[in-house]
Structure 1
Amino acid sequence: MWPNDWPSSATAIATSVDVAVTAAHAADEPGFVAATADLAELPADQVMAVLSAIVRELLETAHPDGLTGDDVRAVLEAVVRRAAAWHSRLDATAVVSVLTGALGIDDPDEPETFRTNPQPAAVLLIEYLADLSDTPPRQPIQRAINEIARAETVEMP
């Protein structure tokens, strides 16, 4: 399934993200809630690093010529509309925060304040962007974890 040389935490994150994205794609609210609850049990900083990397990659894949303000608005509207049809606990503010954070356009001086866990919003963005770009979600999940692992092993001079 995932590379054997990954640490158990990386495998747990990859598996939980994959299960959550699959549940979102199926509009399976109980499955999505359970999968994102599993994600919430993992180290939040590691999970958000992986989720943000996946969102960034999929944004680049879905918008290879660059992302305009209209594109960002269209992504936000599509994710919220799509998820609102089946996810009763949707936090649209978290979707905005996760997207702007992944793009690096959030205010660095303002502390991150989420009314709810931001991970479900990130998963909803991943599901939509993977579908939009016709990218199997497992590929960017694996690339994100591999890139983070590579970056952590590079020694600073």
Structure 2
Amino acid sequence: MTSTTWRHLPPAARAIAVASAEAVDAARARDAEAYPDAVERLAALDPEQTGRVLGAVVRALLEERHPDGLDGDDVRAALEHAVRAANTWQDVDPQVMVVLLVGALGIHEQDEEAPVTPRALAAHAPLLIADLLQARSLPVYLENAFAEIQRSEVHDD
């Protein structure tokens, strides 16, 4: 389990960090009892803010694994691996995983006719992150995601 307290973060960011860490930890442990509760806590948070943080984590993990850039085959391989790994213990909708992956890369906007619910995103993002993390430390990626978002907000103002 993640031991980071996140006390240095503002309350909204701290809630996202804690809920994300709990959900990813449960996904990594394949804890079918803890995972649904962790997903509910994550889904209860602001979906836009949570999506930005989790998307930044996914993007960083993909970029780290593919420093020379990603192509369609790399994205497809990441998707297939994550879906296969998660399907061994959770029901996974591959379309939601596609939305998460390509959304994190900034190449896809959610289809307004068939939107993915915040609950579906909260249920799938930790599974994708757990698969991409492998043995890496989630807190490092969360810290970097918050720093990236803060930098982008400062430059946007």
So what's the TM-score if we normalise by structure 2? Answer: 0.87
Distance across 1 between alignment mates of 2:18 and 2:61 = 18
1:144 maps to: 145
CA contact (8 A) 2:24 2:126 kept: yes
Return the letter of the residue paired with 2:115.
T
Q: Is the 8 A contact 1:51 1:119 kept in 2?
A: no
Q: Please tell me whether residue 17 in structure 1 is matched to residue 56 in structure 2.
A: no
Unaligned runs of 5+ in 1: none
CA deviation map 1:101-127 (0-9, x unaligned):
11122157x426116621222211111
Structure 1 segment 3-152 matched on structure 2, within 5 A: 3-87=6-90, 89-107=91-109, 110-111=111-112, 113-114=115-116, 117-131=120-134, 134-152=135-153
Q: Runs of 4 or more off by more than 4 Å in structure 1?
A: none
Q: What is the CA distance between 1:2 and its match in structure 2?
A: 4.1
When residues 149 and 66 of structure 1 are mapped into structure 2, their CA distance, relative to the original with a 3 A threshold, is same
Q: How far off its partner does 1:140 sit?
A: 0.5
AA matched with 2:138: P
Q: Distance in 2 between matches of 1:153 and 1:68?
A: 31
Contact 2:16 2:42 in 1 (8 A): yes
Q: Secondary structure at the match of 1:117?
A: helix
TM superposition shift of 1:143: 1.1
* Distance in 1, Cα, partners of 2:128 & 2:54: 9
Q: Which amino acid aligns with 2:104?
A: A
Q: Count matched residues.
A: 152
CA deviation after TM superposition for structure 1 residue 145, in Å: 1.4
- Structure 2 gap segments, 5+ residues each: none
Q: Structure 1 41/78 Cα, relative in aligned 2: closer, same or farther at 3 Å?
A: same
Identity %: 39
- What TM-score does the superposition give when structure 1 sets the normalisation length? 0.87
Q: Is the partner of 2:22 in helix, strand or coil?
A: helix
